Amino acid sequence: MDRFSALLKTNRAPTSAEMKELTSRYQAPMAKLQQLDDKLLQLKFQIDELNQERELLRGSIDQHCNLLSPFRCLPDDVLHEIFQWCLPTAHESLLDISELPLLLGYVCRRWRTIAYQTPALWASLHVAIPVPGGVRRRYSSSPESDKQFQLDVAVHQDAIKKWISRSRQLPLSISLSRGNSHPISLSYLDLVLSFSARLHHLEVDLFPTTVSQKLASLPASAFPNLRTLVVKFDRSRLQHKVPWKSSGLLNAPYLSGLRLFSFPLQIGAVNINWTRLTRLDLVSNRWQRTDFDDARKIFTSCPRLTHCSLTIHESRNIGDFEYAPLSLLHLHTLMIVDNSTGFGGLFKGADIPALRHLTYHNTRRPAFDRPSALLGILSQTHMRLERLTTDVQFITYPDLLGCLELLPHLTYLSNIRSPGSLSAEQAAHMNLCPMAPKVMSVVLEILTPCAGHPLYLPALQHLHVNLDFLRMEVSDQILLDFIERRMEFGPPVAPLAEVRLISEHAMQIDISIPLSRYIADGLKLHLEYGTNLSTGNFSGSTSPMHYFFPMHGIERFTV
């Protein structure tokens, strides 16, 4: 054994004689160590060379193996079909090289050729009007920048023409986002209207009055194939009014879907081919409100309606009137914000056998002397409704039970506040009624199945409860009992497939733990409490509305 081994585990310093002995003794091992290091370095160089040779060979093999890729062997007609399924569905296609269909052209020459020869890829386009001084403030107010802006606009409009030319003669779906009062807005509208005979869907966000007047003054014959129309009016301008009262665009011969934002006229006084409409959506109108009389005209004049969304206000005519029952045999989806006192009577005796989806909110407090209009509508559905969205805190307990009894086939229930803010009447009710915050807990207790008691909503599978800003709370224990009993009760009660809860209040108990076995079996459970609530529905920075943004102005029928 090395006589110095005993010193290795001590802190004693070697003597001068020992230091000399150590120095002479380890000269040979140090030389051997250096030889090993040199050999390892040589081997490392050899390994690096072999790895480089290996990667070159692998790259060559992979490139040749790509020739055997099944996707490469797909015939052109199959690729045509696949490409069409890749298009966006929530909006029209964007003129952007990072988005489809332009992105397909950057894969290979064959894909680019096939994409350019597939007209369906180019039949949809969102035209975003650029604005001088846009998002990156590229243009300043100088003759040189104005000239550059005009050159860029010319290139942009030429690209739009080339895009549409690739669609050949297919029907077009085009959305046009708002510009500002800059003259180019009208030039972009003229460009889109040069294809008006082929328009199948048109969506326009109106800002300049000249654009509004130009669009409204066109004859119906200019849009022989138009099926759906979305027009968003600038809320701050009244100059839209005159030309839209008898607009040819609103009377296009095959127009069946109409969505209007902030429409400047009383809708009942506008000349529209009502009998053709199957979808009607009137959104956010602060200028002219749709009242009870307008709603009745719409429902009596549109026998083919399948989808309808309205905010209804009090009638201009005071008094009680007897009306013939409505007959809406095709109405499937109805979305109502009720600001009137007599809306329930509008559907008294109505024939609505196809109604399956209903969204109903009102601006009144619950009152025992005023039956809920929701109950009146449900009483005409022949117990066939499948989806209901409402706010249960503004329904009296007897009316609530009456509604639940009429929903044996309901599979989807959503409790969410009205699209607008609470009315003064509802706010006062929330402050004065001590039970108001606990209404949702009461509803869950009613819906919790129990032997020997009435079974409400036996077919319910999806429950969405959004209590954010409603000043309501739900007991976690009551929610847990509701879910467990629904999952275990058995026929005729269907097991839940999805439960979503959004609440301002803090979590009391973590119900996901006792529900883990149901979650493992497929139950979708989404819970958001107090501090977990999102502060907004966007991320990153936002741009002023008048700046260029490729998605701005895009809207679709969502009902």
The pLDDT tens digits for 195-208 are 999 999 999 987 66
Sorted by sequence, the CB contacts under 8 Å of residue 355 that are 6+ apart come out as 328, 331, 332, 333, 334, 380, 381, 384, 385
Name the pLDDT band for 136 (thresholds 50, 70, 90).
Answer: very low
Q: How far is CA 233 from the centre of its chain?
A: 21
Residues spanned by the domain of 61: 43-69
**Closest C-alpha to 274, from 262, 292, 257:** 257
Could you tell me if 101 and 230 lie in one domain? no
377 occurs within a structural domain: no
236 occurs within a structural domain: yes
The pLDDT of 321-334, averaged and rounded, is 88
Q: Measured between alpha carbons, how far is 528 from 526 in angstroms, rounded to an integer? A: 7
Look up residue 465 and give its two tokens: 């409860």
Q: Of 251, 268, 287, which residue sits at a domain end? A: 287
375 occurs within a structural domain: no
What is residue 35's three-state secondary structure? helix
**Closest C-alpha to 352, from 372, 376, 369:** 376
Better pLDDT: 366 or 356? 356
Please name the residue that has the structure tokens 């009016």: 233
Could you tell me if 180 and 261 lie in one domain? yes
| 500-557 per-position pLDDT tens digit | 999 888 888 999 999 999 999 999 999 998 755 433 332 222 223 333 344 433 332 2
Could you tell me if 63 and 78 lie in one domain? no
Helix axes 439-447, 397-405, angle to 10 degrees: 30
DSSP alpha helix (H) spans, 67-142: 76-85, 109-116
pLDDT for the residue numbered 367: 76
Could you tell me if 141 and 277 lie in one domain? yes
496 occurs within a structural domain: no
Could you tell me if 144 and 280 lie in one domain? yes
Backbone φ and ψ of 301, nearest 5°:
-95, -10
22 occurs within a structural domain: no
Could you tell me if 207 and 269 lie in one domain? yes
216 occurs within a structural domain: yes
Q: Measured between alpha carbons, how far is 355 from 328 in angstroms, rounded to an integer? A: 9
Sorted by sequence, the CB contacts under 8 Å of residue 478 that are 6+ apart come out as 441, 444, 445, 448
Could you tell me if 197 and 85 lie in one domain? no
166 occurs within a structural domain: yes
pLDDT for the residue numbered 285: 64
* Residue type present at position 231: V
Report the number of distinct structural domains present in the chain.
3
Could you tell me if 150 and 254 lie in one domain? yes
The pLDDT of 342-356, averaged and rounded, is 88
pLDDT-above-90 percentage for the chain: 50
Q: Measured between alpha carbons, how far is 172 from 123 in angstroms, rounded to an integer? A: 5
Q: Which of 67-71, 146-150, 179-183, 498-502 has the highest mean pLDDT?
A: 498-502
* Residue type present at position 547: Y
Strands 257-261 and 279-283: parallel
Could you tell me if 87 and 171 lie in one domain? no
What does the longest C-alpha to C-alpha distance in the chain come to? Answer: 123
Distances (CA, A) of 189 to 100, 179, 216, 478: 24, 10, 12, 57
